[in-house]
């Protein structure tokens, strides 16, 4: 039994049912992605799944069901029963995927990145103390303190990163709660709406077209009910549902509707048989949640960077450990050097800075309607090279709008912008007067009352999409439509149906002298024209001859070719003698004429593109991002919208276009001539992956029309095979696999389902394509700015490291202490490096190609070399000058310092001679050493100010970028100076911190080097701008 169900189940999942037997192979290939989503659970949990699937509710009769669940299909459950069951079984909601326990997340932060290195440093400290203690019981506790400080640094940065992550997760979870699902249920013999979470087994629920099925339901009655099971089975065809038991398998029988699938049309009543995690989808979800997410590009970049820095730290550390040992230093000393080297090399504050920078951008993006679920997705968006976008709602406004009118043998363009304010077509003609009357009267749509203060375009309308469009159109032009309708009292009406293809109504006119009835009609243009014998031109009725019919056809074809939905309008004044005022119209008997009418005009509607989209698409194009439209719409409409937003540019043609222009068969066209392609779902179905690859590489402008959500996944996979970073928009449950598969899944905030939002990395609050492009811009900016931040942070590491190396090799008194280094890394440098996140883009950000995942690294060779070996070395030299100045002016000239280390550090030598013959006690020297630390610290700080300023740009001159445009940089500089002042003058008396009060003039010793850094970098940038592509740029541009 178990085996059998499994087989059926997997067949369902691979979706072979709707695939022809002949292309079974292809079908399997195509649904691979979906299968993968569910794959892992199969192996491990088949046993459990099969047991759960062993249900027979679909085989039971209604009476048996009532008995089994203790319910009644008329009265439903009682409230008390329901409450009991709810308490017993829990709410009807999927348990969110098992999250990593908080403690594990926390510990991960503790050991991730550089933390391991710092832990090693801390442990080495304690080991060193242990050795010292075993040799001399009264050895100083300095090493223990240092070890504790290092441990504290790791713990604090860990807590910080953990807090940041938790915060960003919280944003998302609050967002999720905003949209509770409702269910329509019968309880206590009453119909009521309750949150779907409160449903219990045995509840009688009603569903209708458009609803999401709130639980697993055994249908009791159904009227034309069809469901979309694609999220469960991968079948894109709507499935009819009825109350009959049709198949032994629970998954195949027609009388079961599954949780989280969508009811597409019709209505149904059913009994809840499973809730929450016990539903079929719940079982799959809980099993599939183990599917790991791929690493985001920025995570890979940061890992790469951590590896570089850790590699440098460890190799220099080990190298100098060996050097130290071979220079006959004691092992204990060598260990302490190793600690110093590690601490100097590791940019302790950097990962925290990166997190802050990313979350600042995430906040900025949220303001621009991109809600980012995980911080790293911020940058992923920036490296996007292909965007697969939905059409409806994303590229378009998601509402029908009147786009063109045709009357008096002329096509007029209506304003389709978001507010409709600017209707410029000629409204003086008599024909327009008649047409507008028909538009107003032959329309059943109405505004919901109480919306007088709401702008017309935003009012809520009861009625279908096209009628809504017409109502709003006429309201904008004519004013109060409801009032006009009142004045022209409606006496009879035939609503639109698909057989008639027209809609008709008969009105009394508002002209008190005209007692005739006015019959107005709209419908499919060719049907309307058939019924007409005259046509109105310039307000005058004229017989409908061949030439006018020809004009009509031309106009009709033209508007149809624009992908617009065209309606024809006609009217007839019924003669007063035949139809007196008291005449009773009978719509069933049709006791009135419906032919020989007067044709008035055509009107076409489209879901128009959002006004911001064409700009956004142009931006994408210049940014080297390919925009692919994926829609379920008709190819003509899709193509028309693609053309109007620029996805297919004005001068590019499809193969079909070329064929039409040259009057040759499609097969004869050289495919290389066409830049654009419109591919339908049916064509896509027959393509092999190789053909799809070819399509994606050869055409720069692609529109996929009439596609199913499953095909979206195939398209995404195809794009990813081209090594592209793919962003995909989606809203339906069945888009989730594509959203998950994509490098960045973008769910729609308004139209999107919860499942889509869960699978996505980002939620678009306004559903607007233009917001994605803003997001891309922000993402690219953050990548650039992170580069700057990292370059800034890495630079001073050399200035911190060199003192140690010189100390070991030359034997100078230690120029800068480990604690002091920590005060730079975690004190003065933090705010400035965050400030770089606020830097504006250097002009070209959306004019360059998306970054190549493997070639354009965040930290590349040039960045590391320029930071380490150029600016870093200048800083080190500058720092040493300050250090030597302090020592020389106190009595120790540079020459005497060489190889002084051993005596200098010996606490029993209390009469060490300086260059002048004066003698120093150990403490006096120690104080001087701390003054040296402070001086070196100040030297680095001063040069870091220059470093901060030069890092504002990588190519442009600082003066092009503007020195004062980014105010936060100046806050950063101020913070650096203030922190340094506090450390030196405020905390100078606390010996443990090793800071002393520095003479004011020493603050300026490094200034020449700061200026040198600035000038040198300006020269570097100048040559880069002057000689693009040269040896210089290749080696010096990071």
Min separation Cβ 985 and other proteins, Å: 16
* Residue 488 and residue 508 in contact, taking contact as beta carbons nearer than 8 Å: yes
Question: CB-based contacts of 978: which residues, under 8 Å, 6+ apart?
Answer: none
* Residue 805 and residue 930 in contact, taking contact as beta carbons nearer than 8 Å: no
Phi-psi group of 70: left, alpha or beta (phi > 0 → left; psi -120 to 50 → alpha; rest → beta): left
Tokens encoding 929: 């050493």
* Residue 946 and residue 828 in contact, taking contact as beta carbons nearer than 8 Å: no
Min separation Cβ 689 and other proteins, Å: 20
Nearer to other proteins, 541 or 903 (CB): 903
The C-alpha angle with vertex 429 and arms to 425 and 430, in degrees rounded to 5, equals 140
Min separation Cβ 938 and other proteins, Å: 15
- Nearest C-alpha neighbor of 115 from the set 347, 302, 358: 347
| Residues assigned a catalytic role | 390
Sign (positive or negative) of CA dihedral 775, 776, 778, 782: positive
Min separation Cβ 279 and other proteins, Å: 38
Nearer to other proteins, 584 or 908 (CB): 908
Min separation Cβ 422 and other proteins, Å: 55
Min separation Cβ 934 and other proteins, Å: 14
Min separation Cβ 917 and other proteins, Å: 3
Question: CB-based contacts of 117: which residues, under 8 Å, 6+ apart?
Answer: 310, 313, 314, 342, 346
* Residue 264 and residue 209 in contact, taking contact as beta carbons nearer than 8 Å: yes
Phi-psi group of 191: left, alpha or beta (phi > 0 → left; psi -120 to 50 → alpha; rest → beta): beta
- Nearest C-alpha neighbor of 392 from the set 144, 563, 577: 563
Nearer to other proteins, 31 or 1009 (CB): 1009
Question: CB-based contacts of 396: which residues, under 8 Å, 6+ apart?
Answer: 607, 608, 609, 610, 613, 641
Interface ranges with other proteins (CB under 8 A): 303, 307, 310-311, 869-870, 873-874, 877, 880-881, 884-885, 888-891, 893-894, 908, 910-911, 913-924, 927-928, 991, 999, 1005, 1008-1009, 1012, 1031, 1035
Nearer to other proteins, 73 or 881 (CB): 881
Measured distance CA(61)–CA(75) in Å, rounded? 18
945: Cα separation from own chain's centroid: 35
Min separation Cβ 350 and other proteins, Å: 18
Nearer to other proteins, 488 or 931 (CB): 931
Nearer to other proteins, 21 or 1001 (CB): 1001
Nearer to other proteins, 542 or 919 (CB): 919
Min separation Cβ 623 and other proteins, Å: 27
Tokens encoding 620: 């994408």
The phi and psi torsions of 947 (rounded to 5 degrees) equal -60, -40
Count CA atoms within 13 Å of residue 671 on its CB side: 9
Please measure the distance between the N-terminal and C-terminal CA atoms of the chain and give it in whole angstroms.
63
The strand pairing partners of 257, in sequence order, are: 217
896: Cα separation from own chain's centroid: 62
Min separation Cβ 611 and other proteins, Å: 44
Tokens encoding 836: 């770089």
Measured distance CA(340)–CA(349) in Å, rounded? 16
Measured distance CA(1001)–CA(431) in Å, rounded? 89
* Residue 583 and residue 515 in contact, taking contact as beta carbons nearer than 8 Å: no
Nearer to other proteins, 571 or 1020 (CB): 1020
**919 C-beta neighbours (distance < 10 Å), count:** 12
Nearer to other proteins, 120 or 968 (CB): 120
Measured distance CA(613)–CA(961) in Å, rounded? 29
Min separation Cβ 796 and other proteins, Å: 17
The DSSP symbol for 396 reads: B
Min separation Cβ 876 and other proteins, Å: 10
Radius of gyration of the chain (CA): 37
The phi and psi torsions of 739 (rounded to 5 degrees) equal -65, -40
Nearer to other proteins, 917 or 1029 (CB): 917
> Which element (helix H / strand E) includes 83?
helix 79-89
Question: CB-based contacts of 872: which residues, under 8 Å, 6+ apart?
Answer: 794, 795, 796, 797, 798, 799
Biggest distance spanned by C-alpha atoms of the chain: 134
Phi-psi group of 763: left, alpha or beta (phi > 0 → left; psi -120 to 50 → alpha; rest → beta): beta
Nearer to other proteins, 307 or 515 (CB): 307
* Residue 407 and residue 601 in contact, taking contact as beta carbons nearer than 8 Å: yes
- Nearest C-alpha neighbor of 91 from the set 217, 199, 173: 199
Question: CB-based contacts of 1033: which residues, under 8 Å, 6+ apart?
Answer: 1023, 1024, 1027
Nearer to other proteins, 326 or 908 (CB): 908
Min separation Cβ 920 and other proteins, Å: 7
Nearer to other proteins, 746 or 1013 (CB): 1013
The strand pairing partners of 401, in sequence order, are: 606
- Nearest C-alpha neighbor of 876 from the set 730, 1006, 1015, 1018: 1006
């Amino acid at each position: 039994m178990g085996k059998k169900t499994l087989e059926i189940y997997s067949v369902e999942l691979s979706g072979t049912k709707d695939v022809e037997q002949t292309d079974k192979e292809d079908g399997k290939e195509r649904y691979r992605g979906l299968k993968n989503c569910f794959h892992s659970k199969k192996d491990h949990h088949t046993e459990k799944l099969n047991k759960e699937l062993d249900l027979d509710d679909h085989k039971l009769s209604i009476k048996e069901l009532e008995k089994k669940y203790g319910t009644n299909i008329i009265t439903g459950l009682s409230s008390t029963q329901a409450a009991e069951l709810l308490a017993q079984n829990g709410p009807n909601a999927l348990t969110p995927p098992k999250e990593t326990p908080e403690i594990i997340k926390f510990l991960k932060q503790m050991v991730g990145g550089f933390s391991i290195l710092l832990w090693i440093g801390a442990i080495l400290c304690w080991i060193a103390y242990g050795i010292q203690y075993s040799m001399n019981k009264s050895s100083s506790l300095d090493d223990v303190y240092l070890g504790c400080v290092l441990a504290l640094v790791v713990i604090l940065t860990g807590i910080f990163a953990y807090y940041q992550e938790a915060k960003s997760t919280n944003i998302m979870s609050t967002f999720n709660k905003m949209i509770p699902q409702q269910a329509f249920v019968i309880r206590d013999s009453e119909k009521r709406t309750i949150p779907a979470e409160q449903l219990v087994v045995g509840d009688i629920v009603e569903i209708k077209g458009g609803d999401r099925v709130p639980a697993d339901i055994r249908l009791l009655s159904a009227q034309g009910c069809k469901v979309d099971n694609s999220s469960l089975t991968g079948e894109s065809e709507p499935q009819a549902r009825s109350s009959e038991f049709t198949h032994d398998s629970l998954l195949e029988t027609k009388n079961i509707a599954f949780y989280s699938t969508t009811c597409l049309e019709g209505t149904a009543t059913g009994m809840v048989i499973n809730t929450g995690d016990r539903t079929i989808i719940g079982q799959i979800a809980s099993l599939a949640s183990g599917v790991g997410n791929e690493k985001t590009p920025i995570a890979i970049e940061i890992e790469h960077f951590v590896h570089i820095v850790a590699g440098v730290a460890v190799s220099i550390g080990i190298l100098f450990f060996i050097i130290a040992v071979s220079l006959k230093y004691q092992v204990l000393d060598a260990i302490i050097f190793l600690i110093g080297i590690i601490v100097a090399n590791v940019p302790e504050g950097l990962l925290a800075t990166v997190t802050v920078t990313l979350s600042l951008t995430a906040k900025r993006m949220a303001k621009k309607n991109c809600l980012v679920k995980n911080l790293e997705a911020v940058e992923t968006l920036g490296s996007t090279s292909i965007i697969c976008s939905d059409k409806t709602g994303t590229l378009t406004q998601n509402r029908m709008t009147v786009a063109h009118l045709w009357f008096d043998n002329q096509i007029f363009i209506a304003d389709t912008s978001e507010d409709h304010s600017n209707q410029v077509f000629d409204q003086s003609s008599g024909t327009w007067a008649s047409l507008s009357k028909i538009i107003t009267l032959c329309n059943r749509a109405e505004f919901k009352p109480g919306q007088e203060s709401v702008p017309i375009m935003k009012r809520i309308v009861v009625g279908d999409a096209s009628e809504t469009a017409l109502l709003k159109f006429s309201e904008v032009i004519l004013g109060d439509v409801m009032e006009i309708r009142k004045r022209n009292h409606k006496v009879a009406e035939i609503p639109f149906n698909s057989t008639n293809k027209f809609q008709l109504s008969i009105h009394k006119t508002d002209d008190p002298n005209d007692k005739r009835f006015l019959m107005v009609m709209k419908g499919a243009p060719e049907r309307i024209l058939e019924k007409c014998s005259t046509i109105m031109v310039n307000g005058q009725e004229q017989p409908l001859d061949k030439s006018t019919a020809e004009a009509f056809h031309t106009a009709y074809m033209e508007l149809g070719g624009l992908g617009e939905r065209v309606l024809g309008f006609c009217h007839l004044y019924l003669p007063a003698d035949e139809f007196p005022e008291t005449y009773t119209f009978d719509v069933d008997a049709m006791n009135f004429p419906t032919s020989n009418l007067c044709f008035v005009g055509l009107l076409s509607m489209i879901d128009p593109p959002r006004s911001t989209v064409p700009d956004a698409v142009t931006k994408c194009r210049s940014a080297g991002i390919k925009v692919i439209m994926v829609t379920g719409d008709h190819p003509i409409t899709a193509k028309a919208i693609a053309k109007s937003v620029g996805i297919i540019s004005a001068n590019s043609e499809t193969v079909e276009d070329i064929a039409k222009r040259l009057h040759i068969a499609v097969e004869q066209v050289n495919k290389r001539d066409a830049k654009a392609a419109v591919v339908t779902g049916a064509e896509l179905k027959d393509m092999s992956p190789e053909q799809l690859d070819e399509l994606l590489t050869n055409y720069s402008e692609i529109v996929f029309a009439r596609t199913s959500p499953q095909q979206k996944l195939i398209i995404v996979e195809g794009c990813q095979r081209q090594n592209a970073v793919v962003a995909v928009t989606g809203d339906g449950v069945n888009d989730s696999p594509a959203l998950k598969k994509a490098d960045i899944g973008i769910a729609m905030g308004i139209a999107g389902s919860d499942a889509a939002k869960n699978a996505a990395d980002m939620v678009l609050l306004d559903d607007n394509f233009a917001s994605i492009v803003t997001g891309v811009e922000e993402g690219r900016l953050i990548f650039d700015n992170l580069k700057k931040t990292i370059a800034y942070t890495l630079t001073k590491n050399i200035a911190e490291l060199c003192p140690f190396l010189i100390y070991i090799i030359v034997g100078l008194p230690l120029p800068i202490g480990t604690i002091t280094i920590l005060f730079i890394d975690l004190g003065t440098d933090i705010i400035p490096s965050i400030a770089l996140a606020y830097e504006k883009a250097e002009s070209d950000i959306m004019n360059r190609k998306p970054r190549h995942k493997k070639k354009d690294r965040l930290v590349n060779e040039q960045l590391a070399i320029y930071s380490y070996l150029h600016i870093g070395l200048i800083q080190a030299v500058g720092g040493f000058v300050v250090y030597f100045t302090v020592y020389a002016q106190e009595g120790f000239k540079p020459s005497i310092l060489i190889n002084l280390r051993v005596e200098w550090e010996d606490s029993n030598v209390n009469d060490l001679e300086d260059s002048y013959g004066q003698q120093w006690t150990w403490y006096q020297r120690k104080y001087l050493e701390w003054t040296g630390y402070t001086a070196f610290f100040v030297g680095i700080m001063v040069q870091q100010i220059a470093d901060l300023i030069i890092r504002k740009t990588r190519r442009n001159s600082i003066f092009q970028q503007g020195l004062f445009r980014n105010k936060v940089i100046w806050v950063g500089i101020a913070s650096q100076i203030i922190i340094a002042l506090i450390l030196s003058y405020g905390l100078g008396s606390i010996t443990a911190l090793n800071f002393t009060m520095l003479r004011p003039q020493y603050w300026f010793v490094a200034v020449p080097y700061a200026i040198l850094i600035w000038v040198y970098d300006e020269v570097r940038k100048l040559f880069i701008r002057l000689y693009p592509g040269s040896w210089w740029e290749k080696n010096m541009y990071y």
